[in-house]
Amino acid sequence: METPTTDEFARRISNAGLADRRDVDRALGEIGADATLEDVVTGMQRRGIITTLQTEKLLKGDRHGYFYGDYKVLYVIGAGTFARVYRASKGDEVFAVKVLRKRFRDEAKELEQFLREGRMGLRLRHPNIVSIIDVIPDVRNPFLVMEFVEGQTLRELVRLRGKLPADLALRLMGEIAAGLAHAASLGISHRDLKLSNVLISSDGKAKLVDFGLAALTDRKNPDQIADCPNARAIDYAALERGTGVRKDDPRSDVYFCGNMLYHMLAGQPALTETRDRLARLNISRFQEIRPLHELVPDVPGAANQVVQKAMEFNPDKRLQSAAALQAECRKALEILEKGPSERDNDGSAAGGHHDDDDVPTNEGEGYVVMLVESKANLQNAIRDRLKARGYRVLIIQDPGRALARFNPLDDPPADCVIFGCAELGTLALEAHNQFANDEHTRNIATILLADRKQARIISEAQRGENRRMLALPLKVRELRAALMQVLAGKQRRPPGTY
């Protein structure tokens, strides 16, 4: 197409709806009557009337693609196999608009997957997940409207810095795990975890993007999953086949989180990157991981342990959930903050090996525990250890308030109540006993934590099938065993309901 004159270029701006004709004419007057086309283009861009992307389309004579619905396209901010992402504006607000590529709009399978991703994303509202605001199913121009995040991808950050300090890497991974845990509570996994699918906002917060592979309609067919052209989908399929787990096992996301944390700490991924399909399907790729400490000799032991637990090849020995990974990252950060010379309250070395009691599991998923305790350090210790095993933990300091929460007309807010007597003393004892006597709480399990010196409390505490008493100081294995006993046969709550 012929190069337009300055007047024709100005007309194209207003005809495309990018600016009012009066604003365009005013800008032309300021630029000057003798200005060249190059001068006009530069002047319009400097005045914010058009962007570089819009300029390229205007010069080519394109009549479409300047708007998606009411959203004005400003710049391309990302491009993948199936979609492009644009920075767009609507009024004074800025959004990200994800548009399915033209060649896939007539493909029913790809179109449905794209729309399913959007509809699924509408359910995800979490500080560490990029929000999808609207889904426009126009068959000619389907697009998703998303929260715009000012910043860069995690891949860009690692490429820029080479490798990240352990505390920063653990903090970011903890935030990623928090977003995954929220999605998991709704029955949603990610299935495409890699550094480029994490955005780091201008204030340093990690936000997950692109749950597209989680929306695959043929998830139940392993052969079709393996045939997916997305490389990460092949990685997931290979890992799950090689370890004999079901499709969409939540521990697969945990494994690839471990790979991301390794990448942040070492500046390179644990898994060798290749485009060779057969190499990706080779299970030895997941088993022959070079130890992190060989690449980073000064890596803190606490950070290295999180990587090892997340990337454990045996899924039964791996961290069992995103929530467990989040708890491990928090624990490792606390260890780094304390320094190598300090010790935990229970006397174990801060940087030492975690015994079996400290290995997170998912045994508590589907259960809610209420802890009635006034000592902040004991609150934190019990809450962290139980959350690492999948329990949801509610904290209350007043035994009377805890009793009041169990209204006979409402569903019980917790499946088990733990009363701490160290400071609450008789108040905790009386609440424990009242749970055993009142008709509407008689079937709610309770555990009483008492110091061995509190003889009267120990002697007066009611016991029974769903009543337990444990001695302080508390051992993790004892609390776990007591919880499993009193909750035996208790139906777990469905994901997203607790």
Instruction: Give the annotated binding-site residues for ATP.
Output: 98
* Of 208, 170, 206, the residue nearest 191 (C-alpha): 208
Half-sphere exposure of 354 (CA within 13 A, CB side): 20
Half-sphere exposure of 363 (CA within 13 A, CB side): 18
Structure token digits, residue 288: 């022959």
E-assigned strand segments in 356-444: 368-372, 392-396, 416-420
344 tagged catalytic: no
* Of 173, 178, 391, the residue nearest 302 (C-alpha): 173
- For residue 147, the SS3 value is strand
H/E run at residue 201: strand 198-201
Per DSSP bridges, beta strands 416-420 and 467-472 are unpaired
Say if CB 446 and CB 457 are below 8 A apart: no
Contacts 24+ apart (CB under 8 A), 17-22: 17/66, 17/67, 17/72, 18/49, 18/50, 18/54, 18/66, 18/72, 19/49, 19/50
Per DSSP bridges, beta strands 392-396 and 445-451 are unpaired
Say if CB 10 and CB 42 are below 8 A apart: no
* Residue 150: partners with Cβ closer than 8 Å, 6 or more residues away: 201, 202
Say if CB 482 and CB 470 are below 8 A apart: yes
Say if CB 146 and CB 242 are below 8 A apart: no
Residues 191, 211: Cα–Cα separation, whole Å: 7
Spot the catalytic one: 34, 134, 192, 415.
192
Residues 495, 318: Cα–Cα separation, whole Å: 21
* Residue 488: partners with Cβ closer than 8 Å, 6 or more residues away: none
Residues 353, 225: Cα–Cα separation, whole Å: 38
DSSP category for residue 494? P
- Phi/psi for 77 (5° steps) reads -115, -5
Q: For residue 79, what are the β-bridge partners? A: 84
User: Residue with structure tokens 């820029």?
Assistant: 160
- Angle CA 378–380–385, to nearest 5: 100
User: Residue with structure tokens 């070079």?
Assistant: 290
Say if CB 257 and CB 198 are below 8 A apart: no
Which residues are known catalytic residues?
A: 192
